[in-house]
Structure 1
C-alpha cells in the first residue's frame, strides 16, 4: 500500500436510520480521500443494501464475519452500542485488520485490556473514537499550551451541562443501566476529560463525586417510567502531574443545558474555549489573553485541519480522527499528534475507574 492508495475499510454497524454511524462515520468515510468505503455491514441484508446505496459503498453484508473474510479489506470500523463492541472488534483483530472502535472501547476495563492485548499480538494499528483530540480547536489549545502561551498552567476548569436526561425514546433507554458501560461517566465525561488532558496533561490524583440524580427516565414512545442506575452528574477535582490543579463538572440536566466551557489560567496568560456541546461533537471557539490584555479571538491554523473535506456536522471531527488513523496505518504519524489507540483507551478506562473508586470510597485516589 502506498500513501496514494486509499485504505479499504469496512464499517460494522451501518444502519442509516439510527445510531452514530449515519451521523458521523458513514459521511466521514464517504468524503475522506484517504479511505475507500469498501464494505458496510448490518444485521439485515436490506438495511446493509440501503447503506451501500446511500453512501456508495463497495459491498453490503449481514454478517460481519463474512465481511472480515474479504482479504482485500485493510481495516474495519466498529460503530455499535458499547456492549456489542467486544465480539466484532476481536474478530476484526484476529482477521488481521486495522481497527477503529468507538469510545468507550469496552463495556468494562477488562474487555478493553483484552482488545488492546489482541491488537498488540496481531501487530495491527488501532484507533478509538475520542475525536475531541482531533478537533482543530482542541489541537490549537494543545499547541498554545506547549508553546507557553499561558506560561505555567496553574489552574483549569471544564464544565459540560447537557439537557434532556429525564426523557428518552426506547432506542436509548438501554443506557439507563450502569452495567451497559455507556452513560454520562464513560461517554460525556470520558470524551470531555480526555480532551482536557490532551491539552494540559494527565492528573496525578482525583477526588470525585459520581451521582445519579435522575433515578427515573420516562420512555417517550411507550409511556413507561423506568428505573435508572447509570450516573448523570460527575464532579472531579485533582492535581495535575505538571503541578497545576484542575476541576471538571459534567451533568445531564432536566431542562436547558448551558453547553461547554474550558478555562485555563497560567502565570502568563489565560485561555477560554466555549461550545454549545462537547468538543467531540461541535465547533469550539477560543479566546486568549496574555500580559494583562483583554481576551481576544484565536483561530486554529489551517495545518491543524487534517481533513478539510469533511461536512460541517458531527462527521467533521470524526473525519479529522480518521486522518490520524490513516497516518498511523501508513506509518507517518508523529508524537503528540498520534491517533488515540487501544492502549490509550485502556488508560482512559482505568482513569474512569479511579473516578468511580474515589467517589465510592470517599477519598482521594492517586492516578499517576
Structure 2
C-alpha cells in the first residue's frame, strides 16, 4: 500500500446509482483515498465512467479489478443478488471491502461472507451509514451519559418513498421479495440499525408484515406490475435494557409524518424529526428536554461528531464519507471503529427474526454475538 488507500469500485455507473451519488463524492473528499479502478458489466460503460470520474483503470469484469495490485479496497455497490459472488472474489484476493447493505441475499449468505472475511483477517465495512451520522452518535452518547435517565420506551415512525403506488423502472426490483432488496431488507435494516446502535438490541420481538399495494404502476412505461415485497412493517418488543420499542416502516411518502423517532426516559426525552424517512442519509433535527423542563429545545450537534473535512458534500455522500473516514483508520492503524460484516450479520439475524415472527405470529429472539 502506498501513502493512499487505492480503491476499486464495482458498479460505478456513469449515469446513475449509489456509487455516483454517494461513494465517489465521499471518497473524493477524503485525502486518505484514491479511486484507481472501476468495473461495470460492459466495457463501454466502464470506460465512460473512468473518463467521467477521472479514474485510470476501467474493467468490464470484477476479477481484474479485485486482483489488481493497485487496488487495496474493493467497494461493492451493485444489486444485492450479486453481493455474494463479488464479495467472495474480493475476500479471496485478500482485499479490504466496503459492501453496500444488505451484505447478502438472506442470513445464510451474510454469515458465510462474514466468516470468510474473518478468516482472511481483512478490514470490512458495511453500508449501514446511519450509525456514522453525527446526530446519531450524539444521541448514542446522550443516552450513555444519562440525558434521559433510564430509557423506558422508544417509538419510530418513518415513511419511505418506495414502494408506493408508483415506481420508476430503475427501482422495480424492490417490488420482488426474492431479490433481497425491499422495504424490509434494505430500509428496515437501516432504521433498525440506528435504533439498536443507540439503545441496544431487542431481547424479543413481534412483527407484522403486509403488502397493501399489490399492483404498482411504473411511471416511465405506464405498465402495472404485481408487488410481493411488504410495504408495511410493524415491529414491537422489548430491548435487552428492558425498554419497550416499536418501529413502523411505511412504504410511500406521507403528507403528515415522514420521520419521527422519540426516546422517553425517567429523566428526559429526545425527539428526532426529518422531512424524509432517510435518517441514514440526510440531516435530521434533534430536540430534547430533561428534568423540570416543560418543552423540547433544539440540541445542536457538536463538530466532534463530524469526522470528515468541512468541504465534504452534504446529502447522500456525507454519512458514507463518515464511514470511509473510520474505515481508513481501521485499515491504516489496525483499529476496529467502523461497522463491518460481523455487525451486518447481527442486523440480518434481526431481519430473519422479524420475518419468522410475522410468519408464525410468535415472539422471536436473535443472536447478537458473532
TM-score under structure 1 normalisation?
0.95
1:291 equivalent to 2:296? Answer no
Q: Secondary structure at the match of 2:169?
A: coil
Other-structure match for 2:84: 86
Alpha-carbon spacing, 1:29–1:329, altered in 2? closer, same or farther (3 Å): same
Give the C-alpha shift of residue 170 in structure 1. 2.1
Give the distance between the partners of 2:66 and 2:89, measured in 1 at CA: 8
Other-structure match for 1:185: 184
1:37 is aligned, of 32, 35, 39, to 35
Give the distance between the partners of 1:332 and 1:310, measured in 2 at CA: 25
Give the distance between the partners of 1:136 and 1:54, measured in 2 at CA: 31
Other-structure match for 1:328: 330
Give the C-alpha shift of residue 253 in structure 1. 2.8
Q: Secondary structure at the match of 2:49?
A: helix
1:71 equivalent to 2:69? Answer yes
Give the distance between the partners of 1:110 and 1:257, measured in 2 at CA: 38
Name the stretch that deviates more: 161-170 or 14-23: 161-170
For 1:174-323, what aligned pairs fall within 5 Å after superposition? Answer: 174-253=173-252, 256=255, 258-277=257-276, 278-293=278-293, 294-308=295-309, 309-323=311-325
Whether contact under 8 Å (2:159, 2:253) holds in the other structure is no
Q: Which runs of 5+ in 1 are unaligned?
A: none
Give the distance between the partners of 1:72 and 1:47, measured in 2 at CA: 21
TM-score under structure 2 normalisation?
0.94
> Deviation per CA, 1:201-247, whole angstroms, max 9, x where unpaired?
11100011011111111122222211111011110111110111111
Q: Which runs of 5+ in 2 are unaligned?
A: none
Alpha-carbon spacing, 1:333–1:256, altered in 2? closer, same or farther (3 Å): farther
Give the distance between the partners of 1:72 and 1:172, measured in 2 at CA: 33
Give the C-alpha shift of residue 361 in structure 1. 0.6
Whether contact under 8 Å (1:162, 1:256) holds in the other structure is no
Whether contact under 8 Å (2:159, 2:254) holds in the other structure is no
Give the distance between the partners of 1:345 and 1:196, measured in 2 at CA: 14
Other-structure match for 1:158: 156
Give the C-alpha shift of residue 142 in structure 1. 0.5
Give the distance between the partners of 1:24 and 1:91, measured in 2 at CA: 23
Whether contact under 8 Å (1:27, 1:55) holds in the other structure is no
Give the C-alpha shift of residue 353 in structure 1. 0.6
Alpha-carbon spacing, 1:272–1:346, altered in 2? closer, same or farther (3 Å): same
Give the C-alpha shift of residue 265 in structure 1. 0.7
> Deviation per CA, 1:157-202, whole angstroms, max 9, x where unpaired?
1110124522112221122110111000111111001000011111
1:169 equivalent to 2:168? Answer yes
Give the distance between the partners of 1:300 and 1:63, measured in 2 at CA: 43
Alpha-carbon spacing, 1:333–1:295, altered in 2? closer, same or farther (3 Å): farther
Other-structure match for 2:16: 18
Give the distance between the partners of 2:67 and 2:243, measured in 1 at CA: 50
> Deviation per CA, 1:21-46, whole angstroms, max 9, x where unpaired?
11111111122222111111111222
Other-structure match for 2:353: 354
For 1:100-179, what aligned pairs fall within 5 Å after superposition? Answer: 100-163=98-161, 165-179=164-178
Give the C-alpha shift of residue 48 in structure 1. 1.6
Say how many residue pairs are matched.
363
The RMSD of aligned alpha carbons is 1.5
Give the distance between the partners of 1:44 and 1:225, measured in 2 at CA: 30
Give the distance between the partners of 1:253 and 1:273, measured in 2 at CA: 20
